[in-house]
């Protein structure tokens, strides 16, 4: 089978980036940083990298089209059951197959919420982050940013919940 750069069966499904291993190791690292789905094609008897990431899988070359299609479907299903948001350095917040741009200040405040997805991030920690950005670090300013972030993440299927007087929790809204 010839190697394609991405595999896609419908516009509603997330792209799977096909990476030739070990030849395209740098591409693999780039796709890992963005949180993209990755299928490694192990060539020339190479050893596949060890990973526990549900957004990555591998096959040995050569592979039949049917096996390739089945592995892509299995990767998408496994990743969907372990969806985590990803925030890239360009200010794009991804969750599942959806993406929204966020402002630099929102990106700064979202970083700990994304890193600790499903866990509480203290309000004081977010206030401290806001003050290092040179912005007004008042509780009202933080509340305004939180309101904007709530609106921004909703179309992704995410929800930003408030733990009264303690902090915030980013989670899936399902």
Rounded to whole angstroms, the Cα distance separating 26 from 79 reads 22
How does strand 56-60 pair with strand 167-172? unpaired
Confirm if 154 and 142 have CB atoms less than 8 A apart: no
Residue in this structure with the two tokens 């993209």, named with its chain if needed: 36
> Are 8 and 26 spatial neighbours (Cβ–Cβ below 8 Å)?
no
Instruction: Based on the fold, state whether residues 167 and 99 are members of the same structural domain.
Output: yes
Check if the beta carbon of residue 62 is closer than 8 Å to that of residue 45. no
pTM, full prediction? 0.56
Residue 71 lies in a domain: yes
Regarding whether 156 and 98 lie in a shared domain, the answer is yes
- pLDDT by residue for the chain (174 residues), tens digit each? 434 344 543 323 578 999 999 999 999 988 887 778 999 999 988 999 888 778 899 999 999 999 999 999 999 888 776 678 999 999 999 987 789 999 999 999 999 999 988 889 999 999 999 988 776 688 899 999 999 999 999 999 999 999 988 999 999 875
Domain that holds residue 98: 86-172
Domains contained in the chain, number? 2
In a domain, 11, yes or no: yes
One domain for residues 30 and 54: yes
């Amino acid at each position: 089978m010839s190697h394609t750069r991405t595999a896609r069966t419908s516009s509603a499904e997330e792209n799977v980036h096909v990476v030739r291993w070990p030849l395209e190791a740098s591409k693999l690292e780039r796709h890992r940083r963005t949180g993209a789905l990755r299928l490694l094609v192990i060539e020339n008897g190479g050893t596949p990298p060890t990973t526990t990431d549900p957004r990555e899988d591998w096959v040995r070359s050569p592979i039949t089209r049917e096996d390739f299609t089945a592995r892509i479907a299995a990767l998408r299903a496994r990743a969907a059951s372990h969806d985590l948001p990803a925030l890239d350095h360009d200010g794009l917040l991804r969750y599942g197959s959806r993406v929204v741009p966020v402002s630099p200040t929102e990106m700064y405040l979202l970083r700990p919420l994304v890193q600790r997805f499903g866990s509480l991030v203290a309000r004081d920690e977010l206030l401290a982050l806001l003050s290092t950005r040179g912005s007004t670090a008042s509780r009202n300013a933080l509340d305004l940013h939180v309101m904007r972030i709530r609106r921004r993440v909703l179309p992704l299927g995410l929800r930003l919940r408030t733990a009264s007087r303690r902090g915030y929790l980013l989670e899936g809204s399902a």
